[in-house]
């Protein structure tokens, strides 16, 4: 075999691999198009979702408001054992929170009251702050009184 035939073998293998890859990609795109045409996406006309479709699981964000390292993460397991879905943990915007409080992010204030009752704080510390930017039900901000909670 000459040097030029080795180069042409390599380029033909590369060309065939590229054609094969593009063929598979084309097949996937055609399949996606046909699937979209056969099974169109259904868009709801209503702004308010059907209450029957809303899950009973309360999604919670737990934030550390007193500065104890790892506090929000430490209470995640306990909250999950109560049946809550902890979807996010982190720090509050400052660490001088004395009393733990619950923020209701959805229209259903009862979810926030259930969280408050489960952890042993009064309903007076439930704040309503509805926002369409949040995709969770409740934010729990742990304060310096975290040792007195049912967590």
Q: What are the boundaries of each domain within the chain?
A: 1-43, 51-148
Specify the CATH number of the domain 51-148.
Answer: 3.30.70
Residue 1 has pLDDT above 60, yes or no: no
Q: What are phi and psi for residue 26, nearest 5 degrees?
A: -65, -40
Say if pTM beats, i.e. exceeds, 0.85: no
Query: Could you give the maximum distance between any two Cα atoms of the chain, in Å?
Result: 87
Task: Read off the pLDDT of residues 43-73 as tens digits, 9 standing for 90 and up.
Answer: 444 444 444 434 578 899 999 999 999 899 8
């Amino acid at each position: 075999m000459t040097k030029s035939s080795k180069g042409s073998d390599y380029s033909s293998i590369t060309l065939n691999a590229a054609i094969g890859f593009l063929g598979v990609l084309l097949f996937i795109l055609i399949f996606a198009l046909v699937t979209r045409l056969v099974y169109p996406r259904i868009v709801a006309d209503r702004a308010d979702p059907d209450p029957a479709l809303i899950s009973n699981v309360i999604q919670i964000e737990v934030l550390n408001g007193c500065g104890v390292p790892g506090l929000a993460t430490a209470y995640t397991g306990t909250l999950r054992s109560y049946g809550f879905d902890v979807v996010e943990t982190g720090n509050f915007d400052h660490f001088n929170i004395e009393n733990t409080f619950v923020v209701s992010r959805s229209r259903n204030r009862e979810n926030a009251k259930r969280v408050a009752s489960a952890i042993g704080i009064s309903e007076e510390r439930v704040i309503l702050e509805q926002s369409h930017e949040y995709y969770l039900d409740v934010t729990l901000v742990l304060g310096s009184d975290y040792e007195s909670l049912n967590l």
